[in-house]
Amino acid sequence: MSVKLNRKIGPVNQTRDSFRKIQAGKTDEELSFIIGQQAAVGMQIDMLNSSLYGAAGALLSNAASHNTATAATIKTSDLVTGLSLFGDAADRVKVWVMHSKPYYDLVQSQISDKIFGVANFAVAQGTPITLNRPVLVTDSPALLVTGTPNTYLTLGLTDAGLIVENSEAEEMIFQDVTGNENLSVRMQGEFAYNLGVKGFKWVIGSGANPTNAALATTANWAASRASVKDFAGFVLTTN
């Protein structure tokens, strides 16, 4: 069962004078289009971070979908151990999602291990061997638990493990503001989407429109499937 998230853009105030200086002959409509594109990027980042917070909260809530690395930093063997959580369904895991720290730790460990072929590839390409699965590298705050030392979460996700669906039409309002030293424009927008984590449901009573902190809280998620093989994936915890 997915959870609905309502998010906002802004409000942002900017003087009309500053727009005139950067407008460079563009019409108001063209400028609005450019600002809209910037807002769209912000919306995508919000969706990415919220979905990863939700994935972390849900998968960490169940011991069957969580593995702590045996070494301080990630190694190839940790990827194998993670896949082993899915047993004969390991082929359902299609992509790794990593913070850049464990990603480059993995490159370094494969070079240090001096495994013929693997180390050669890591040196030549500057990328790790990841068991025939692509890697999405993002320094999303959802993958970093600040502490001494920091903890990093690496996700192995299945097809349709995380589903983000727009649930309402986005709306952006531009309003002229007077009464100050300069004429200004206030911009504010709203958008909403549903977030689903495969194999889990949002616990009724945990609150509507949760913050990212709430999404990352394990107590707010409950497994809706009996087997880890039907989950969105698993989490590897490293430093």
Report the pLDDT value the prediction gives residue 85, as an integer from 0 to 100. Answer: 95
Output the CA torsion 55→219→190→194 (10° steps). Answer: 50
Whole-number Å distance between alpha carbons of 69 and 106: 12
Q: What is the model's pTM? A: 0.88
**Domains of the chain by residue range:** 3-238
Which three-class secondary structure state does DSSP give residue 168? coil
Alpha carbon 136 to chain centroid distance? 10
Task: Count the neighbouring beta carbons within 10 Å of the beta carbon of residue 29.
Answer: 7
| Percentage, residues of the chain above pLDDT 70 | 89
User: Shortest CA distance to 199 belongs to which of 237, 238, 159?
Assistant: 159
Averaged pLDDT for residues 82-98: 96
The helix or strand, by DSSP H or E, that contains position 133, with its residue range, turns out to be none
Averaged pLDDT for residues 115-126: 59
182-196 burial code (b ≥16 CB/10 A, e <16): eebbebebebbbebb
Q: Which residues lie below 8 Å from residue 72, measured CB to CB, with a gap of 6+? A: 149, 238, 239
Residue 119 has pLDDT above 70, yes or no: no
DSSP state at residue 224: -
Token pair in block for residue 87: 């047993």
Report the pLDDT value the prediction gives residue 48, as an integer from 0 to 100. Answer: 97
DSSP symbols for 1-21: --EEEEEEEEEEEEEHHHHHH
**Band of the pLDDT at 205, cuts 50, 70, 90?**
confident
What average pLDDT does the structure give for the chain?
88
Token pair in block for residue 100: 């850049």
Residue 6 has pLDDT above 70, yes or no: yes
Report the pLDDT value the prediction gives residue 117, as an integer from 0 to 100. Answer: 62
185-204, pLDDT tens digit by residue? 888 999 999 999 999 999 98
User: Shortest CA distance to 150 belongs to which of 60, 52, 239?
Assistant: 239
Task: Count the neighbouring beta carbons within 10 Å of the beta carbon of residue 74.
Answer: 26
Residue 157 has pLDDT above 60, yes or no: yes
Report the pLDDT value the prediction gives residue 72, as an integer from 0 to 100. Answer: 82
| 96 neighbors 156 (Cβ within 8 angstroms) | yes
Report the pLDDT value the prediction gives residue 91, as an integer from 0 to 100. Answer: 96
Report the pLDDT value the prediction gives residue 123, as an integer from 0 to 100. Answer: 57
